Structure 1
Amino acid sequence: MNSPKFGLRLASVIFGLMSLGQLWRLVAQPQVLVAGAPMPAWPSAVAFVLLLALCIWLWRLSGKAG
């Protein structure tokens, strides 16, 4: 359980779940208020792409850490 591979895979799964949450926000379009003002959806699109890139990067890196 102390292997770098396990840590990288776990971080990758967490980033993947976070990216799915951002994708859900883009698809469902719930109204999110920040200090009473509606939050646009475009930051979720940026977050989705960045989190997905981190997920893929860490997963590939974990294959090399074996």
Structure 2
Amino acid sequence: MKVAAVVFGLMALGQAGRLATQPDIQVGGSSMPLWPSAVALIVLLGLCLWLWRLANPRRGA
């Protein structure tokens, strides 16, 4: 599960990079907005943290 958490974390970093650099991406001749990357960043970070916590249970609790 840690591997999946790291993969989701790297994907979130990629989305954060897209938000930071704000490149002009053309899809079918029209420009793609940045808001889908913001949503993807939130979802990917959530999945990353969730899987990381599942892989590292608290001991003694």
TM-score (norm 2): 0.91
Shift of 1:29: 0.2
Residue identity opposite 1:48 in structure 2: L
Structure 1, unpaired ranges of 5+: 1-7
- State the partner residue of 1:61: 54
Displacement of 1:9 in angstroms is 0.1
- CA RMSD in angstroms comes to 0.5
* Runs ≥4 residues deviating over 2 A: none
Kindly state the Cα deviation for residue 25 of structure 1 after the two structures are TM-superposed: 0.4
Alignment gaps of 5+ in structure 2: none
- 1:42 positional shift: 0.4
State how many pairs are aligned: 57
Please list, as runs of the form range in 1=range in 2, the aligned pairs for 1:18-57 lying within 5 A after superposition: 18-57=11-50
Structure 1 equivalent of residue 8 of structure 2:
15
Higher helix share: 1
Q: Determine helix, strand or coil for the equivalent of 1:15.
A: helix
Structure 1 residue 23, shift from structure 2 partner: 0.4
- Which amino acid letter does the alignment assign opposite residue 10 of structure 2? L
Q: What percentage of residue pairs aligned between the two structures are identical?
A: 56
Deviation, 1:60, is: 0.2
